[in-house]
Structure 1
Amino acid sequence: MQEGKDWRDQYFGRDYYQYLAKHLTPERTKREVDFLESVLSLKRGSLILDLGCGFGRHTLELGKRGYRTIGIDRSSELIEIAKENAKKEKVFNVEFYVMEYKDIDKLDYKFDIVFSLYTSFGLSTYEEDKETLNKVYQVLKRDGRFLIDIENRDALLKYFIPYSWDLFGEDYVLLTEHFFEPDTGFYISNRIVIDLKNNIRKEFVRRIYLYSPSEIIHLFKESGFHVDRLMGDYEGRKFHIGSRRLIILAIKK
């Protein structure tokens, strides 16, 4: 990674979409949106914000189901892909914007639902995450709900795997080396994708702060949220120390 450049600008882009999003299948997206519909009790006419929408897979699936949804992401390349897919799939009740999460108050909307899936928090700084939570509280209607999904720090460290590899079809191999910095709380993944068919090698570096459950819950409460429910997976099962995910449902009171 080049010195002085934000790692997110290099990680999240067209190469991410082409090489690292292979496992994010339409079937998986549908199951995850089924979960959102159930847990958030989504209603037609609700205005929904997908915070950190990436290339828009959840935004588009919600749009296909009749929900008016806005997706924001800081990656202009991923938002461009999301818009291309919306046009290609003829989904017209969605909007996409390039935006820092902490700037969502500039949208000039009040939302019934905000959700953020797959660890959009912990990618920058504690101060920026705190500011983002305050802005989410600000843009939600009263009794609006915010659902956030992050990696479960305790399980990730308990079952720490320093190296892993995955094979996607016959063409792509993903090699990953993981590090944890105990002094900073950051979890670093160095990822190498090898395109066997075209003899291409791509390198990606991902750096996230791992929030403990108590830390992230404290942030929510500081921002004024009532924490309603903790879940450990996309089946809605109760969170426990060994859960793979930490999914928080909070309400603006």
Structure 2
Amino acid sequence: MSELNSSTTALSPEQWYASWFDTPYYHILYKERNYREAQLFMDNLTQYLNLPEKAKVLDLACGRGRHSIYLSQLGYDVTGVDLSPNSIQEASKNVNKNLRFEVHDMRQPFPAQFDAVFNLFTSFGYFDEDEDNFKTLQAIHDSLSEYGFGVIDFMNVDYVLHDLVPEETKTVDGITFHIKRYTDAKYIIKEIRFVDQGQDFCYYEKVRMLSLEDFQAMMERAGIYLLDIFGDYKLKKYYKKTSERLIMVFK
């Protein structure tokens, strides 16, 4: 990795999620995310789970609430939580009687129980300590009601590594983002550099390369029963080498 000049604002990959997610630049870079695809996933998932009318749903690491907002429109009672105060502030503009948002660390069980806890769009595996990732899984399990379902929608590591784009440039809202992707022994890392108003910035995304087998080992340790595995947002069968996603449903 190249050296940063003295005027660059650089954030270490350590605890990257606490800084990068809380900046407006994160939302600028990803503003073109496919909202229709997210809605179709929620349609498919809630139909598969056969959630009761007005079921209580926790959207864990909700960001600005795109899944939470749509779930509330489907008639569910939704709580969206995220570590980023700025994201929660933005999401809270959509609050209604069936939708609320709170700042919350996903390593901690939420002080309520839910019919479903959704952890979506690779919002797992952020932490440097394996025990913190295990605590997150345990917290999801502890937040489920007796008949509740947990869902983790994670990247399929084999698929991502096969198609990893080492470098790309993307211009959004007049800002040119220079993106590098690489791996180390445990992580897929994305380095994001750009200039705005004459200042250089550098942020990171860093996610553990967790396989299905890694999740199964954590689930066994936590006393979690893995019910089903899907490979995409249409809930098609999971294939280790070719599926785009690793979507796990558990109790």
With the shorter chain as reference, the TM-score category is: 0.7 to 0.9
Q: What pairs with 1:124-163 in structure 2 (closer than 5 Å)? A: 124=127, 125-163=129-167
Q: Give, in whole Å, the separation in 1 of the partners of 2:33 and 2:84.
A: 18
1:6 Cα offset (Å): 2.6
Q: Give, in whole Å, the separation in 1 of the partners of 2:181 and 2:208.
A: 13
1:193 Cα offset (Å): 5.1
Q: What pairs with 1:224-243 in structure 2 (closer than 5 Å)? A: 224-240=223-239, 241-243=241-243
Determine if the alignment matches structure 1 residue 95 to structure 2 residue 104.
Answer: no
The counterpart of 2:126, out of the listed 107, 110, 123, is: 123
CA separation of 1:17/1:39 partners in 2, compared to 1, >3 Å: closer, same or farther? Answer: farther
Query: What TM-score, normalized to structure 1?
Result: 0.85
For 1:176-228, what per-residue CA distance to the aligned partner results, in whole angstroms no more than 9, with x for missing partners? 2111002xx11110123577xx8887543111111011001211222111111
Backbone CA RMSD of aligned residues: 2.3
Q: Give, in whole Å, the separation in 2 of the partners of 1:200 and 1:28.
A: 35
Determine if the alignment matches structure 1 residue 62 to structure 2 residue 71.
Answer: yes
Q: Give, in whole Å, the separation in 2 of the partners of 1:26 and 1:172.
A: 22
Aligned to 2:245: 245
Aligned to 2:181: 178
For 1:146-170, what per-residue CA distance to the aligned partner results, in whole angstroms no more than 9, with x for missing partners? 11011111122223321134455x8
3-state SS in 1 of match to 2:107: helix
3-state SS in 2 of match to 1:123: coil
CA separation of 1:93/1:173 partners in 2, compared to 1, >3 Å: closer, same or farther? Answer: same
Q: Give, in whole Å, the separation in 1 of the partners of 2:201 and 2:71.
A: 32
The counterpart of 1:114, out of the listed 117, 125, 140, is: 117
**Alignment coverage as a number of residue pairs:** 240
For 1:9-51, what per-residue CA distance to the aligned partner results, in whole angstroms no more than 9, with x for missing partners? 2210242454122122442332232132223222212111111
1:61 Cα offset (Å): 0.8
Structure 2 contact 109–142 (Cα < 8 Å) conserved: no
The counterpart of 2:31, out of the listed 22, 25, 43, is: 22
CA separation of 1:128/1:104 partners in 2, compared to 1, >3 Å: closer, same or farther? Answer: same
Structure 1 contact 44–66 (Cα < 8 Å) conserved: yes
Structure 1 contact 228–249 (Cα < 8 Å) conserved: yes
Q: Give, in whole Å, the separation in 2 of the partners of 1:42 and 1:167.
A: 41
Which range is displaced more, 226-235 or 27-36? 27-36
Aligned to 2:85: 76
Return 5+ residue gaps in structure 2 as ranges.
Answer: 1-9
Structure 1 contact 36–42 (Cα < 8 Å) conserved: no
Determine if the alignment matches structure 1 residue 188 to structure 2 residue 189.
Answer: yes
What is the identity, as a one-letter code, of the residue corresponding to 1:149?
A: D
Identity score, percent: 25
What is the identity, as a one-letter code, of the residue corresponding to 1:104?
A: P
1:173 Cα offset (Å): 4.5
Structure 2 contact 58–79 (Cα < 8 Å) conserved: yes
Q: Give, in whole Å, the separation in 2 of the partners of 1:200 and 1:242.
A: 41
Structure 2 contact 114–148 (Cα < 8 Å) conserved: yes
Q: Give, in whole Å, the separation in 2 of the partners of 1:4 and 1:134.
A: 25
Q: Give, in whole Å, the separation in 1 of the partners of 2:82 and 2:60.
A: 7
What is the identity, as a one-letter code, of the residue corresponding to 2:178?
A: L
Q: Give, in whole Å, the separation in 2 of the partners of 1:37 and 1:201.
A: 43
